[in-house]
Amino acid sequence: GNKSQDSGIAEMEELPVPHNIKISNITCDSFKISWEMDSKSKDRITHYFIDLNKKENKNSNKFKHKDVPTKLVAKAVPLPMTVRGHWFLSPRTEYTVAVQTASKQVDGDYVVSEWSEIIEFCTADYSKVHLTQLLEKAEVIAGRMLKLSVFYRNQHKEYFDYIREHHGNAMQPSVKDNSGSHGSPISGKLEGIFFSCNTEFNTGKPPQDSPYGRYRFEIAAEKLFNPNTNLYFGDFYCMYTAYHYVILVMAPVGSPGDEFCKQRLPQLNIKDNKFLTCDEEDGVMVYHHAQDVILEVIYTDPVDLSLGTVAEITGHQLMSLSTANAKKDPSCKTCNISVGR
C-alpha cells in the first residue's frame, strides 16, 4: 500500500507514560517531582497533568475520564519540576500523586497518555524560617511583661503518687501531643515536661484554677531557668478562642532536648525576648513573662519533686481550658502564616 495515504488516517503515536517517579526536596508546602519516559513521541509533549490527593481520599473516585485534565496542568518544563502554590499543601500530611503527559492540539484539546503509577509521600514540618514567621506574629501580641517567681505543673493526685512510687520521685519527660500548629516540628517528637508560668494580674501569683488536676507542683523559677538553660520558640496558636498560646522550650545546655531544638527551632535570648526572660538585678535572678499570651513551657529533662512543693489548689478545675491534642484554628489571622495550613 501507499505509505503516504495510510499516514493521513493513522492514529497518532501514543504519548509516553511517566514511570519511576521520584519526589525530592520536600518542604511543608512544596516538593520537586521527576520521572522517566520513553523517548518515543517525547517531542510531542507540551504539558504535564499532575493529580495530587490527600491520602485519606484514596477510596474516592480518583481519576476522572482520562481526557479531562485534573488538578494541575503544567507546561512541559525540564525535570525535576517544583510544585508549590498551586494548592495549599498542608505540612506533615500524606499525599498521593500521579502524572500523565499531554499534547495540546490546534483546537485546544489535549491528547493524553495513560496515568503513571500512584506514588505516596508526606510533606515536611515547618522549617525554622516558617517558625520565625510565627514567632514574629506572636511578638506582636505578647503584651507587656509581668514578674514571676515560680513555674508550676498541675496534675491529679494519682500522677504524683505514681512518680514517687515508680520513678524515684522524678517527673519524666514524655512525648508532646499533637496540639497546636499542624506543621509544628515538636509535636509527637520532642520529649519534655509541661509547665505553666502565667500569673494573676492582681496577685503576681499562679492562678488558683487549673484544667489539669487539683494538685500542683511549684518550683522556684531559677531551678529550671538560668544561664545554663537555652530557650526556644516552639509554637503560636489559638483554638477558636480570644486568647492565644505560645509554646516555649527550656532545655539545659547540651542536653538531648537542646540538641533536638537547635536543629529545628528559633533560639531566643534569655535576657531579651517578648515572652519569658531571666536576668540578673543586684545579684538576684529576676523573671518576667508576657501578659497577653498563655505560655506553655516544656522542660526537656527530668525534674525531681524534692526541688519544689506539691499541694492541693483551692480553685476550680476548668476543663474548658485544656489544650490536650487541641486543633489550631486555621482561619485565625493572628496566628497563621501563609504557607501550608
- Between CA 118 and CA 98 the distance in angstroms is 5
pTM for this entry: 0.80
12 or 163: which leads in pLDDT: 163
CB 152 within 8 A of CB 171: no
**CA–CA distance, 50 with 42 (Å, rounded to integer):** 17
Mean pLDDT over residues 300-320, rounded? 84
Type of residue numbered 197: C
Domain 19-123 in CATH 3.40.50.10190: no
pLDDT (0 to 100) of residue 74: 85
Number of Cα atoms under 13 Å in the Cβ half of residue 183? 30
Q: What is the pLDDT of residue 65?
A: 42
Cis before 256? omega within 30: no
Task: Look at the chain and count its residues.
Answer: 341
Residue reference for cell 500530611: 93
Q: Are 197 and 303 in contact (CB under 8 A)?
A: no
pLDDT reported for residue 336:
85
Task: Pick 329 or 296 by higher pLDDT.
Answer: 296
Mean pLDDT of 91-120: 90
List, in sequence order, every beta strand (DSSP E) within 184-341. Answer: 191-196, 215-220, 229-237, 245-252, 267-268, 276-281, 284-290, 294-299, 303-304, 309-312
SS3 319: helix
Q: Specify the pLDDT at position 9.
A: 40
Alpha carbon of residue 48 to chain centroid: 31
> For 85-98, what is each residue's pLDDT tens digit?
656 678 888 889 99
In this structure, what C-alpha cell is assigned to residue 91?
505540612
| Domain residue ranges of the chain, discontinuous segments joined by + | 19-123, 128-321
Percent of all residues in the chain with a pLDDT value above 70, rounded to a whole number: 87
Instruction: Determine the average pLDDT of the residues in 230-237.
Output: 96
Instruction: Judge whether 193 and 133 are in contact, CB under 8 Å.
Output: no
Mean pLDDT of 137-166: 93
Element (H, E) at 4: helix 3-9
How far apart are alpha carbons 15 and 76 in whole angstroms? Answer: 13
Cα torsion 154, 160, 163, 169 to 10°: value is: 90
Measure the CA–CA gap between 225 and 278, rounded to whole angstroms. Answer: 7
CB 127 within 8 A of CB 181: no
245: which residues sit within 8 A by CB, 6+ positions away?
Answer: 180, 235, 236, 237, 238, 239, 293, 294, 295, 296, 323
Query: Cα separation of 303 and 170, whole Å?
Result: 5
pLDDT for the residue numbered 60: 46
Beta bridge partners of 246: 236, 295
